[in-house]
Amino acid sequence: MSDPWKECMDHCLEVTKKAGEMIREALQKDIAVMQKSSPVDLVTETDQKVEQLIISSIKEKYPTHSFIGEESVAAGAPSVLTDDPTWIIDPIDGTTNFVHRFPFVSISIGFTVKKEIEFGIVYSCIEDKMYTARKGKGAFCNGVPIKVSGQEDISQSLVLTEMGFKKDPEIFKTMLANIKAILTIPVHGIRSPGSAAVNMCLVACGSADAYYHMGIHCWDMAGGAAVVTEAGGVIMDISGGAFDLMSRRLIVASSRAIAERIAKEITEFNVGRDDKDD
């Protein structure tokens, strides 16, 4: 039986490569930075140009498809996942890294049909690593198959998360307490590369054993979720329940044992949902 979405994925790969070139070129020039909602929520002209390039190229070929893009949503477009074929796009995942030229900057694209992720692409463009995954067909980095580490012992694990300033002092306190809770299990260490999509791919290829995060968005998660799942990883909600793409939170891990232990150790805080106005 033919694969109905292979052509979509092939087209997406070509567009992603072009977008990666645009980002690498922009890194050679002065970067004009604007703020979104706070001094730590940054956006650049390149974010907007890259998203425009990706969406216009895909829309031309697939005019009936839907889109959820970080910059489009910031400009007022809805963030609602329907049964339609939908492209979920983060043009620059790791904008703060991009601004500082810290080398983990990625383009993340997930493609869903009937709310299920059919394929994902994450291009870590400074490293020139193209992570790809198609449902039921495995995960790859630059065409080479990748697998999670398979680690089951959290005390032997390297864990990823992201930390940053939170306006709400209680949320800030909980975020720091969660980091302490994980470190004192103890684990081998915690790292914060600065790009959610790259973090998921680092778990997918076995360089890290887990990643947890509250407060990210569907466009941060969709591409990496496909990659980590196809690499044999586990993805779940922070509560230990089923992963929900619109929930703004997740745990990914090399094994269920590690994911469940992290769910048990950390305290949740409210981050809202992508498909609801808070």
Is pLDDT above 60 for 1? no
Is pLDDT above 70 for 39? no
Other CB atoms within 10 A of residue 75 CB: 10
The reply to whether 269 falls in a domain is no
Q: Could you say which DSSP state residue 10 is in? A: H
The answer to whether residues 235 and 135 belong to one domain is: no
Q: Is 153 annotated as a binding residue?
A: no
pLDDT tens digits, one per residue of 5-29: 999 999 999 999 999 999 999 888 8
The answer to whether residues 87 and 172 belong to one domain is: no
Among the residue ranges 73-77, 103-107, 202-206, 229-233, the one predicted with the least confidence is 73-77
What is the average per-residue pLDDT within 70-91? 91
pLDDT computed for residue 143 by the predictor: 98
pLDDT computed for residue 278 by the predictor: 58
Q: Which of 145, 169, 185 is the last residue of a domain?
A: 145
Mean pLDDT of the chain: 94
- Alpha carbons 148 and 130: distance in angstroms, whole number: 16
CA distances from 202 to 168, 198, 228, 234, 269 (A): 30, 6, 9, 13, 25
Q: Is 235 annotated as a binding residue?
A: no
The answer to whether residues 24 and 92 belong to one domain is: yes
Continuous segment of H or E residues that includes residue 226:
helix 218-230
Whole domain around residue 229: which residue ranges? 154-264
Among the residue ranges 37-41, 49-53, 91-95, the one predicted with the least confidence is 37-41
Q: Token pair of 126, please? A: 């400074």
The answer to whether residues 102 and 214 belong to one domain is: no
The answer to whether residues 15 and 99 belong to one domain is: yes
| Rg of the chain, C-alpha, whole Å | 18
The answer to whether residues 141 and 29 belong to one domain is: yes
Q: Is 209 annotated as a binding residue?
A: no
Query: Whole-prediction pTM value?
Result: 0.95
Provide the number of structural domains found in the chain. 2
pLDDT tens digits, one per residue of 141-187: 999 999 999 999 999 999 999 998 889 999 999 999 999 999 999 99
The reply to whether 212 falls in a domain is yes
The answer to whether residues 178 and 134 belong to one domain is: no
% of the chain at pLDDT higher than 90 = 83
Q: Is 7 annotated as a binding residue?
A: no
The answer to whether residues 16 and 136 belong to one domain is: yes
pLDDT computed for residue 38 by the predictor: 67
pLDDT computed for residue 7 by the predictor: 94
Is pLDDT above 90 for 94? yes
Q: Which of 104, 123, 145 is the last residue of a domain?
A: 145
- Alpha carbons 176 and 267: distance in angstroms, whole number: 10
The reply to whether 129 falls in a domain is yes
The reply to whether 258 falls in a domain is yes
Per DSSP, the three-state class of 224 is helix
Q: Check if the beta carbon of residue 211 is closer than 8 Å to that of residue 194.
A: no
What is the average per-residue pLDDT within 103-124? 97
Q: Is 71 annotated as a binding residue?
A: no
Which amino acids are annotated catalytic?
Answer: 70, 90, 92-93, 95, 220
The reply to whether 60 falls in a domain is yes
The answer to whether residues 170 and 51 belong to one domain is: no
Q: Which of 93, 114, 145 is the last residue of a domain?
A: 145
The reply to whether 64 falls in a domain is yes
The answer to whether residues 44 and 18 belong to one domain is: yes
